[in-house]
């Protein structure tokens, strides 16, 4: 089983309540995974596929 990691903090998502995963808003293909912590600190992320940066 593949271990999912937060794209911002690189922490493992297993049993990480509050984490989210969604398709990249830029390319609609890459799966963005964000931990609860990353959301709380509003950590930025960059899609390795298209270069889209968020959450802003
Ligand atoms: Zn993308």
Assigned domain for 56 exists = no
Number of folded domains that form the chain: 1
pLDDT given for residue 3 in this prediction: 86
pLDDT given for residue 56 in this prediction: 64
pLDDT given for residue 21 in this prediction: 93
Please work out, in degrees rounded to the nearest 5, the angle formed at the alpha carbon of residue 55 by the alpha carbons of 9 and 51: 80
pLDDT given for residue 48 in this prediction: 96
Assigned domain for 53 exists = no
| Ligand 1 centre distance from Cα of residue 40 (Å) | 22
Rounded average pLDDT per 10-residue block, the chain, 56 residues: 89 86 96 94 96 88
Which residue range(s) make up the domain with 30? 1-46
Assigned domain for 16 exists = yes
| Ligand 1 centre distance from Cα of residue 12 (Å) | 21
Assigned domain for 14 exists = yes
| Ligand 1 centre distance from Cα of residue 18 (Å) | 22
Q: How far apart are CA 40 and CA 27, in angstroms?
A: 25
């Amino acid at each position: 089983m593949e271990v999912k990691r937060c794209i911002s903090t690189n922490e493992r998502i297993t049993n990480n309540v509050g984490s989210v995963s969604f398709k990249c808003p830029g390319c609609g293909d890459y799966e963005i995974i964000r931990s609860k912590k990353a959301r709380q600190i509003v950590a930025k992320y960059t899609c390795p596929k298209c270069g889209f940066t968020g959450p802003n």
